[in-house]
Structure 1
Amino acid sequence: MIKNFHLVALSLLVIGIGNLRGQDLKPAEKEYKTPKKEYSPYAGDYYPDQVYFGDTHLHSSWSTDAGMAGATLGPDVAYRISRGETVTSHLGWKVRLIRPLDFLVLADHAENLGLADFIERSDPIILANETGKKWHDLVKAGNGYQAFLEWLRAGNQDLINEPRMAKVVWEKATDNADKYYQPGVFTTFHGFEWTSHPGGNNMHRVVVFRDGKDRTKQIIPYSQYDSVDPEDLWNYLMNYEEKTGGRVLAIPHNGNLSNGLMFSYNRYSGEDLTKEVVEQRYRFEPLAEVTQQKGDGETHPQLSPDDEFADFETLDMGNLNGTQAKTPDMLASEYAREALKRGLKIEAELGTNPFKFGMIGSSDNHTALPTTREENNFSKASFVEPSPERYEHPLVEAPDPALSIMLTDVGAAGLAAVWARENTRESIWDAMARRETYATSGTRLRVRVFGGWDFEEDEVQRPDFARTGYDRGVPMGGDLKAAPSGEAPKFMVRALRDPDGANLDRIQMIKGWMDAQGELQERVYDIAVSDGRKISSDGKANKAVGNTVDVKNASYTNSIGDPLLTAYWTDPDFDPSLRAFYYVRVLEIPTPRWTAYDSKFFNVKMPDDTVMYLQDRAYTSPIWYTPGE
């Protein structure tokens, strides 16, 4: 039996399923002899023991909407700053991250990928193309904005239509990713962004490959010129896996600019969901981006009126290009918490939950600069890098000024946090696939949560609490099996502040469930609070943490809050017959927003309604409970 197990393990590695050290993948005990008992308690560890922070959604000048709009910093700059180097911004500022990222997906848009670079180099391929030559001449004559507008207004019509360009630039993009990959130190993924936005409604996805160039070079990126329907993207991903033996996943963007499309109960065609469609989405979209520069996508105050922290970096006027105003009925199909609830209902009807996703954040910066901290915010586009006037600028100027996205509406988020065994493509991708991830709004606080049936209260204080969590429960992204008779799920949570950031205000448990009448419900519980405050019988902190922010000086102190919070919580309202999910939200104490840092640095007065401080936060992937499983 041992020999057979080795053959199975080898075959799994050959077809690319993953690094088994990063997986809870092992044979049944009856299939092997009890190993020698080792003195070292860590010799047999298999579970993820490191958290890695990265950006799965960064753009360089190779994205046409960036490069044709004036961005000049290419992939090399993006990789260099991400791994810790100092670089120079478009406006001449020296830029460095407070600490290097652990991993990066340079997700340049698939649509005419690299067009600005081809024009800059006067590449023969672009000069031989009628539209390419026209735009090249406009750019070289100083009329690049006119060329950009022509490209932008074409929507999903490919005016270049040059397959040779796509092949050449994808070859270079994959070369770059492999060039900067340093296993164990800095991980780069092959990836791109599929940029479907029919009518300006954002349905974008970042595509992330587990594989290296030997597999990814066999294809070229899929774009909205091929299709704007997500189902066609999933078919493309399936065909890639069948053709190459590789692995790939897609990450939907925050849905707040989709005007009701991202998490709809219907297919893009308007038809009803089918079992096949929901199974495809479940397979290829294990994660969702819930916070980034263009707004936070966890929940909305109209969807969660009893949640005092729901109104965070809310951006809800209209769609991506400001051509369609938002209506209240759209909101339920745009935010992650509501989608997680909808997934329970769809699963009850079709047998699969298409919205069973883990949480991540990322930047969506189009500058090659993955800056996500408030005091180091180089913003989303090259034309709104730090300057005395940038707070007055629109990021997206809409025909109706009320639908314009002003720069002061835009945050400085976010980051993806991944629990993995090692800093490699295989280990980090596998963690994404199993949803052992969490989102942050740019901070690097550390969060772990485990759910189980027999945890004891004092175990959350044990130094080996993670070992206990994996041995007798499931981590974030996991599933609880059928409830033992008379038991309710128990959760152990730890949160540690960013070592270069703010103390913690509280830990909250967000529960969503489908009741016996089929109605979707939610509740927010405070489960740990700082500064010795108390939690009342209704699950709420009895007072706020306070606020030390000095807006004028863009400063704060850690004289309030706690650096470490732990929680042990049992669901007081558990019904074993009802589908449910649980995820953790951790809030930091108030700190200055980037607008306060700009106001001080440039000595400018922000408009009176400008948000000047915020509470950075993290959202973990849920733990699901399904009756009978």
Structure 2
Amino acid sequence: MNRISLIAIIAASLSVSPAAAQFLPSEQSLQGLYPGDTYSPFAQRAFPSQVFWGDTHLHTSLSPDAGLFGNTLGVDEAWRFARGEEVTSATGLPVKLGRPLDWMALTDHSDMMGFATGLFNGDPAITSSEQGKGWYDAFQQGGDAATAAALDLITNFSQGTLDPALVEAYSPGSTAYGSVWQEVVDAAERYNEPGHFTAFIAYEWTSLVAGNNLHRNVIYRDGARRAEQMMPMVTQPPVGSTDPLELYKWMQNYEDKTGGNVLALAHNGNLSNGIMFPVDEQYTGRAIDETYVEQRAKWEPLYEITQIKGDGETHPALSPEDQFADYETWDAGNLDLSEAKTPDMLKGEYAREALKQGLGLEVKLGTNPYKFGFSGATDSHTSLSTAEEDNYFGKAASAEPSLTRVTHPFTETENGIFPGWSLVASGYTGVWATENTREALWDAMARKEVYATTGPRMMVRFFGGWEFDDNDLRSRAPAFAGYEKGVPMGADLRPAPGPDAAPSFMVYALRDPIGANLDRIQIVKGWRTPDGTLQEKVYDVAWSDGREPDGNGVLPDVGTTVDIEAANWTNTIGASELASVWTDPDFDPTASAFYYARVIEIPTPRWVLYDKVRLGSEIPEEAALTGQERAYTSPIWYTP
């Protein structure tokens, strides 16, 4: 550059107008020129601006049932797979996620953790028992003998008829149990990489009351220094209990002793035969009182609304006017089909009904025990967190890809059947957090700023307030208005600005970048009238393709592009993004209420169709070949 050109540039910079802010001193550069606090919308953000994807529920060979039924993959394979590495499954198949997860909670069963591995290895503490020696010999023999031994062992476990010496050998306080728990904690520490991948220390407390599922997953905010100070809570006596109130005591003791933090989430209520969400009394006969509602509300901020063993949002018998209620419904009986399902049980099993019942319990006892957010998980027992329809590796090693897994029953007794094709490739949890660390993700779970999907990684925001309008969506970053004027999913609405105000909700969704387009967004409302009546209604608030509701307000189906012969679909229908500001037209300021958003995709193939096309599997006529996957946001609550 010559000297004349340089002088010209300097002169121009000295005479530049105030609007050319890049040449002015920084303290003057934006004064009066930009209405925001800073020009960069990404700087100095105090609210969560990223969604991180993970699984709150996965089992390895350390879980007795997983190990006994053929899973040979341990904690290292599970963590490596979640982080995006290729591994070899228990049945010898190479497998890899389409996209790595951002975080995971590895939740092996706390009861007799590591027992299956000890049994296969001939641990003298097991083979010295007549019961244990018989099982060991059967597994050495293999084939039908091994299968029968596995079923017999699990039956004895669930019925509490295990040899007490076996229970003692693999219970908290024993050398074997302490070694296994240390292995779990150490593995989580090895794979935890703050900012890149979060490995939660966790376990599953497996309360099973006469086959009725009351399981909870316990997730630590902490690292090894605290987690290794106390062994997990178990259900087997003499040190354990199946009563959730006893689990809450363990959680309180843990926090008091270590200074750490834990939370629990209940799951799979659709297999509890009505006892997951009690209203009058627990299964123990103890009345639902102030202690119960306060403790459950304190320790269980989340509920697993979808997973491999069926969807838990609602049931068509509970929500007959909801056209999307019958989604991946499992209602034959309890977890092991030892008892058939009866209609009266349904009210104690599903998330939407529990949210409504919680409003009534709050009036009665002062606290809402069912004020939970939504999480999604796999509950896979293969060490493989696969929720992708075209990459689905089943519930257990016996349900990994094969010609017959579609037709082979998952469970079958004289009380009913869970067909193999009814297993669900579900689900994941999206967490809105400031960074990918244990602390930030756990805090988001605790405040319920999370949502569940049946597998797709669609981005969903949901805010509630009193003053949202369409202008708030005239931006690519409506979250600024969302946090300024309202509250996010999982929160309580702020007080109304006046007696005539009605709440407004801002919701928007972007489809999974490699997934299907969106059919619609709905807002689900539940409320309790002043006379105690519990009601619900589903509102379509945004939809694709310019459809118009009919005279009854029903929106026509979006249609389908699924190619059955190729197990494919095209995004020629639906929308890549949908958004709406919706004001409740039926708002009653005297009625307590909750609201959550449900985002529905266009139809896509289920995993069984991929099995048909790729493997040539015979598909039963009653098996669903397609489905409309979805997301459920945590609710927002209104209290008069």
Q: Distance in 2 between matches of 1:605 and 1:341?
A: 42
Q: Does 1:422 align with 2:435?
A: yes
Question: 319, 323, 329: which is aligned to 1:304?
Answer: 319
Equivalence for 1:290 = 305
Equivalence for 1:525 = 539
Alpha-carbon distance, 1:268 to partner? 2.9
- CA-to-partner distance for each residue in 1:581-604, whole Å, 9 max, x for gaps? 000000000001111111111223
SS of the equivalent of 2:443 reads: helix
Q: Distance in 1 between matches of 2:216 and 2:609?
A: 32
Question: 559, 565, 574: which is aligned to 1:546?
Answer: 559
Question: 219, 227, 232: which is aligned to 2:246?
Answer: 232
Equivalence for 1:9 = none
Alpha-carbon distance, 1:134 to partner? 4.6
Aligned counterparts, 1:351-500, within 5 A: 351-398=366-413, 400=414, 403-485=416-498, 486-500=500-514
Alpha-carbon distance, 1:492 to partner? 0.7
Alpha-carbon distance, 1:373 to partner? 1.1
Equivalence for 1:151 = 153
Q: Distance in 2 between matches of 1:71 and 1:523?
A: 43
- CA-to-partner distance for each residue in 1:273-302, whole Å, 9 max, x for gaps? 111210100010000001001000000000
Stretch deviating more after TM superposition (283-292 or 129-138): 129-138
Equivalence for 1:22 = none
8 Å contact from structure 2 (residues 492, 636) kept in 1: yes
Stretch deviating more after TM superposition (45-54 or 123-132): 123-132
Equivalence for 2:525 = 511
- CA-to-partner distance for each residue in 1:363-391, whole Å, 9 max, x for gaps? 00000111111111111010111111111
Equivalence for 2:339 = 324
SS of the equivalent of 1:347 reads: helix
Alpha-carbon distance, 1:168 to partner? 1.1
8 Å contact from structure 2 (residues 487, 494) kept in 1: no
Residues 423 and 125 from structure 1, CA distance in 2 versus in 1: closer, same or farther, beyond 3 angstroms? farther
Q: Distance in 1 between matches of 2:624 and 2:336?
A: 23
Q: Distance in 2 between matches of 1:122 and 1:456?
A: 67
8 Å contact from structure 1 (residues 527, 535) kept in 2: no
Aligned counterparts, 1:71-90, within 5 A: 71-90=71-90
Q: Distance in 2 between matches of 1:313 and 1:443?
A: 16
Stretch deviating more after TM superposition (402-411 or 57-66): 402-411
- CA-to-partner distance for each residue in 1:80-110, whole Å, 9 max, x for gaps? 1100011111222211111001111110111
Question: 573, 593, 598: which is aligned to 1:560?
Answer: 573
AA paired with 1:72?
Answer: T
Q: Distance in 2 between matches of 1:46 and 1:416?
A: 22
AA paired with 2:67?
Answer: G
AA paired with 1:468?
Answer: A
Question: 220, 229, 253: which is aligned to 1:218?
Answer: 229
Question: 275, 279, 283: which is aligned to 2:290?
Answer: 275
SS of the equivalent of 1:51 reads: strand
> What's the C-alpha RMSD, in Å, of the aligned pairs?
1.7
Equivalence for 1:13 = none
8 Å contact from structure 2 (residues 392, 425) kept in 1: yes
Residue ranges of structure 2 left out of the alignment (5+ in a row): 1-35
SS of the equivalent of 1:79 reads: helix
8 Å contact from structure 2 (residues 159, 210) kept in 1: no
8 Å contact from structure 1 (residues 452, 490) kept in 2: yes
Q: Distance in 2 between matches of 1:373 and 1:37?
A: 42
Equivalence for 2:257 = 243
Q: Distance in 1 between matches of 2:440 and 2:333?
A: 38
SS of the equivalent of 2:541 reads: strand
SS of the equivalent of 2:305 reads: strand
Alpha-carbon distance, 1:74 to partner? 1.1
- CA-to-partner distance for each residue in 1:537-556, whole Å, 9 max, x for gaps? 86542x11001112222111
SS of the equivalent of 1:97 reads: coil
Say which one has the larger Rg. 2
TM-score, normalised by the number of residues in structure 1: 0.91
- CA-to-partner distance for each residue in 1:206-250, whole Å, 9 max, x for gaps? 111111111110111112211111111111111111111111011
Q: Distance in 1 between matches of 2:372 and 2:419?
A: 30
Equivalence for 1:172 = 183
Q: Distance in 2 between matches of 1:42 and 1:615?
A: 34
8 Å contact from structure 1 (residues 51, 419) kept in 2: yes
Aligned length: 589
Equivalence for 2:624 = 611
AA paired with 2:512?
Answer: D
Q: Distance in 2 between matches of 1:129 and 1:62?
A: 21
Q: Distance in 1 between matches of 2:550 and 2:46?
A: 40
Q: Distance in 1 between matches of 2:300 and 2:633?
A: 16
8 Å contact from structure 1 (residues 437, 477) kept in 2: yes
- CA-to-partner distance for each residue in 1:434-460, whole Å, 9 max, x for gaps? 000111011111100111111121212
Equivalence for 1:183 = 194
8 Å contact from structure 2 (residues 51, 431) kept in 1: yes
Alpha-carbon distance, 1:136 to partner? 3.3
SS of the equivalent of 1:607 reads: coil
Residue ranges of structure 1 left out of the alignment (5+ in a row): 1-35
Residues 41 and 413 from structure 1, CA distance in 2 versus in 1: closer, same or farther, beyond 3 angstroms? closer
AA paired with 2:394?
Answer: S
- CA-to-partner distance for each residue in 1:8-45, whole Å, 9 max, x for gaps? xxxxxxxxxxxxxxxxxxxxxxxxxxxx9655444321
- CA-to-partner distance for each residue in 1:315-355, whole Å, 9 max, x for gaps? 10000001101000000110000000000000011111000
Stretch deviating more after TM superposition (424-433 or 456-465): 456-465
Alpha-carbon distance, 1:125 to partner? 5.0
Stretch deviating more after TM superposition (50-59 or 127-136): 127-136
Q: Distance in 1 between matches of 2:37 and 2:356?
A: 45
Equivalence for 2:139 = 139
Aligned counterparts, 1:40-189, within 5 A: 40-123=40-123, 125-126=125-126, 131-142=131-142, 143-154=145-156, 155=158, 157=160, 158-159=162-163, 160=166, 161-162=168-169, 163-189=174-200
- CA-to-partner distance for each residue in 1:99-136, whole Å, 9 max, x for gaps? 00111111011111011222344445545666545533
SS of the equivalent of 2:345 reads: helix
Q: Distance in 1 between matches of 2:243 and 2:438?
A: 28
Q: Distance in 1 between matches of 2:591 and 2:508?
A: 27
Q: Distance in 2 between matches of 1:371 and 1:614?
A: 17
8 Å contact from structure 1 (residues 590, 614) kept in 2: yes
Q: Distance in 2 between matches of 1:68 and 1:283?
A: 35
